[in-house]
Amino acid sequence: MPFTNAYATFAAQATIGESVTPFNNANAYLGVGDGTTAFSSSQTDLQGTNKVRKPMNSGYPSRSGNTVTFQATFGASEANFTWNEWAVFNAATGGVMLNRKLENFGTKAAGTVWQFTVELTWGVA
């Protein structure tokens, strides 16, 4: 999965020890939206009209080897729309969007609770 331009800059900054906001339990968010616009590395947010970011569940993100797992829970009254896109962020608003993926998960109905888990694996080409 391709990263955003903002995340590429973030990674370069972190590599040389510049101050950045980490994607840790205090700062990481999973966002979902109803957008269908194709991914572009220049995007900085979800593209849909409806979009919600949720903070990490306790114990997330976690890492095993080069795989990082993010997990958030969307409550009964949250994100009740068709989930067509998702992304990982390091802030509740603004911040750095690590990635964005178009993927239809169906429509979350009011009264339902969805736990959303994302695993990202870093690799070399």
pLDDT band for 26, please (50, 70, 90 cuts): very high
Per-residue model confidence (pLDDT) at position 116 = 98
Residue 28 to residue 69: CA distance in whole angstroms: 11
At 95 the pLDDT is 97
Mean pLDDT of 34-53: 98
**Domain spans in the chain, listed from the N-terminal domain onward:** 5-37+46-121
Tally Cβ neighbours within 10 Å of residue 85.
24
CA distance 28 to 57: 10
Which pLDDT does position 76 carry in this prediction?
98
**Cα atoms found within 13 Å of the Cα of residue 63, Cβ hemisphere only:** 6
Pairing of strands 62-64, 51-55: unpaired
Rounded-to-integer distance, Cα 29 and Cα 23, Å = 8
pTM over 0.85: yes
As a whole number, mean pLDDT of residues 46-53 equals 98
